[in-house]
Amino acid sequence: MLYVDEQICMRELSLHILDALENSLEAGATVVDLIIEEDTAADQLAITIQDNGRGMNKTQLDRVFDPFFTTRSTRHVGLGIPLFKAAAERCGGSLTVVSQPGEGTILRVTFEHSHIDRAPLGDVRGTLLAFILAEACDVHYVHRVDGREFEFDTTDIRTELGDAPLTHPMVRKWLQEFIAEGEQNLRRQSQ
Ligand SMILES: Nc1ncnc2c1ncn2[C@@H]1O[C@H](COP(=O)(O)OP(=O)(O)OP(=O)(O)O)[C@@H](O)[C@H]1O
Ligand SMILES: [Mg+2]
């Protein structure tokens, strides 16, 4: 018997985000938007992951919160979305999925920002880098904290780079520093 409870819940929201990004990739997405919005006045943290993958039909969508539903063939449980939903609901938030076959999927997850059980965002930079460097998908990333914003789009970065791949050591180093600085500035200014 599988229990979706805090014993197996993740300690960093970035791990849930990575799982959702992997779902998008598995659904054949070529572009994913990841939007993180922190509004401390409204005491809300909202994470939106939108992809242009194959989407889900009504039957798949109805079953998506069921831990025993997966289209994976390697194993027979799919825990990513049920765990993310449990984490949100434990913190006064919710998880909703909007999806249409052929039109992609929007996952929106909210949390009470200051809720005592809310896991920290964690290593968003590492998550983003791992995903971007896999070069399977373009990423549009937006992180807003109380009106301030850090944003980039790998489509624009690749255009700037011309022939150089994102995985080139120099580019990789630049990306690491660029994301680290963008994230740090958000935090620094919000204090
Ligand atoms: N973005 C998406 N686009 C299309 N289908 C999706 C998407 N996200 C989830 N699904 C469908 O919902 C199922 C359940 O997803 P979930 O993340 O809960 O489990 P999983 O990815 O199958 O396994 P796990 O996350 O435990 O590795 C997936 O197998 C897939 O069929
Ligand atoms: Mg998953």
Complete DSSP assignment for 138-177: EEEEEEEETTEEEEEEHHHHHHHHTTS-TTSHHHHHHHHH
Only one residue has tokens 């939106």, namely: 48
Average pLDDT over residues 41-67: 93
pLDDT band at 190; cut points 50, 70, 90: low
Q: What percent of the chain has pLDDT over 70?
A: 88
Q: Are 91 and 120 in contact (CB under 8 A)?
A: no
Q: Are 14 and 121 in contact (CB under 8 A)?
A: yes
> How far is the centre of ligand 2, averaged over its atoms, from the C-alpha of 80 (Å)?
4
pLDDT band at 9; cut points 50, 70, 90: low
Beta bridge partners of 145: 38, 148
Establish whether residue 64 lines the binding site of ligand 1, counting it when its CB lies within 6 angstroms of any ligand atom. yes
> How far is the centre of ligand 2, averaged over its atoms, from the C-alpha of 118 (Å)?
20
pLDDT of residue 21: 96
> Who wins on pLDDT, 89 or 67?
89
Residue nearest ligand 1's atom 19 by CA: 78
Establish whether residue 56 lines the binding site of ligand 1, counting it when its CB lies within 6 angstroms of any ligand atom. yes
Average pLDDT over residues 126-147: 94
> Which of 19, 70, 131 is the best mutation target for the ligand 1 pocket, counting ligand atoms within 8 Å of the beta carbon and taking the most?
70
> Residue 64 CA: which ligand 1 atom is closest?
12
Across the chain, mean pLDDT equals 90
Listing from the earlier edge strand, what are the strands of the sheet with 148-153? 94-100, 104-112, 44-51, 31-39, 138-145, 148-153
Q: What percent of the chain has pLDDT over 90?
A: 75
pLDDT band at 150; cut points 50, 70, 90: very high
Q: Is the pLDDT of residue 188 over 80?
A: no
Q: Is the pLDDT of residue 39 over 50?
A: yes
Q: Report which secondary-structure segment, H or E, holds 16.
A: helix 13-26
Give the number of other Cβ atoms within 10 Å of residue 189's Cβ.
11
CA dihedral over 149, 155, 157, 159, signed as positive or negative: negative
> How far is the centre of ligand 1, averaged over its atoms, from the C-alpha of 49 (Å)?
13
Encode pLDDT of 12-33 as tens digits: 999 999 999 999 999 999 999 9
pLDDT of residue 66: 78
> How far is the centre of ligand 1, averaged over its atoms, from the C-alpha of 81 (Å)?
7
